[in-house]
Each structure stands twice: as structure tokens, then as C-alpha cells.
Amino acid sequence: MGIDFKLFGITVKSSEERAIKVSQEGDLYIAQNLPPYTLATAAGRGWQAQATSAAAATTTIPTTTVLCTLYNGETGGGKSLVIDSLFANTEAWDAGNYNMFFFWICVHPEQTTPQTADITIKGLRGGDTNYGGKARFDVGATVVNDTWYSRANSERTATGNVSGMANIYHPVEGKIVIPPTCAFSIHVGTNDSNITVKAGISWYEVQLDLA
């Protein structure tokens, strides 16, 4: 014997009960009212940091020295760092050449030695000027080679002069999570050792079930 159900939702402001509409096949009608991540950003969970000085990109797989490392200084059971995006801008390339660049990434296990806080972390929400979390953004750190992977499609610069500038952006959108006491390093790969870059990371700090 079949059982009929009625679906209702409660509005946030008025606590009014309203019926939830479904299709003839029983599929829910759902419309996204805000862009993705709006509520998480509005709640002050989003942060970012970028190196302030340009450093050389690499023409080989990184081994120990990296452009930047994001370390999660939370203790066990604390918030995780949900990686939102990677980005970098070039400061120089060879005039007359087409240069390619992409990201190398390395997800580190628990760190016995925390990274240093070289760069001030800024909020993705306007007005968030003072960071009070436990993340640290280290530039030029020496890290253990915990296996590197290439990410993002290679971006191609136009032929330009040695002071030209280009940008690479890679949306991660939560596919990488850094639990407490763990770290995440990035480098920029290129076909030309003359390219210098300033790399950065954006992330959200969220209490997650890591079971």
C-alpha cells in the first residue's frame, strides 16, 4: 500500500510554512537564488593571500623549495582549509617568445614543524582586515617532497616585452581540503626559466567531519 507525503519548507524570516513544489515525476523544483559561495563569504569564512615579491617559476618538477605554502595551524578537531582557487601573475617573460605556465601542487600530511607566517592574510568579505584564524602563508619554504601533481590547463602568454604581465587562475572549488596541522604547497611550472611570478591561494575555513 502506497503512502502519500506532503513536503513543506519553513521560510527563514517569518517561519511561515510553505509547500515545496515537485514535478509530475516527483522531482523537486529548486532554484539557486545567490551565486555559489555567497553565504560562506558573507559569514566571513573566505580568505586569501598572495606573495608580494616575484620569484622564478620552474622548468622542472619541484622537489624541496616552493613558491608558497598554506599551513593549517588548527589543532586536532579544528577547522579545515577548503581550497577555493589558485592564482598567479607573471612579472616578466622573454620578449618575442610565447611562454606557457601552469600550477604544480603538493598536499602535505601532518607537519612536525609549522610554516612561518610571511604574508598577511586578507578576507574575501569587504571589511575583514584583521585575520584571526590559525592559517599561515609561507613564501619560499623548504618542504618535503610529498609527491607533486600538475594542475590547470597551460596558459599561454602573448609575445611581449620583459616587463610584460599575464595571469593564471585555477578554480579548485573544494576538491582539496587541508585538515588541521597539514599543509598545501604550490609552484608555477613554465617552459622558460626567465618567467617570474607572484602566486596566491584563496580558501574557506570550515568545521568539517573528517571521518
Report residue 77: phi and psi, to 5°: 90, 0
Q: Does domain 44-206 have CATH number 2.30.29?
A: no
Query: Quick one: pLDDT at residue 157?
Result: 66
Residues of the chain with pLDDT under 50: none
Q: How far is CA 200 from the centre of its chain?
A: 8
Query: Quick one: pLDDT at residue 40?
Result: 95
Q: Return the closest-CA partner of residue 171 out of 33, 8, 37, 14.
A: 37
Query: Quick one: pLDDT at residue 158?
Result: 62
Q: How many CB atoms lie within 10 A of CB 204?
A: 20
Query: Quick one: pLDDT at residue 96?
Result: 65
Q: Return the closest-CA partner of residue 51 out of 210, 159, 186, 174.
A: 186
Query: Quick one: pLDDT at residue 91?
Result: 81
Q: How far is CA 172 from the centre of its chain?
A: 6
Query: Quick one: pLDDT at residue 167?
Result: 85
**Global pTM value:** 0.86
Residue 75 vs residues 72, 79, 133, 156, 205: alpha-carbon distances, Å = 9, 8, 12, 41, 13
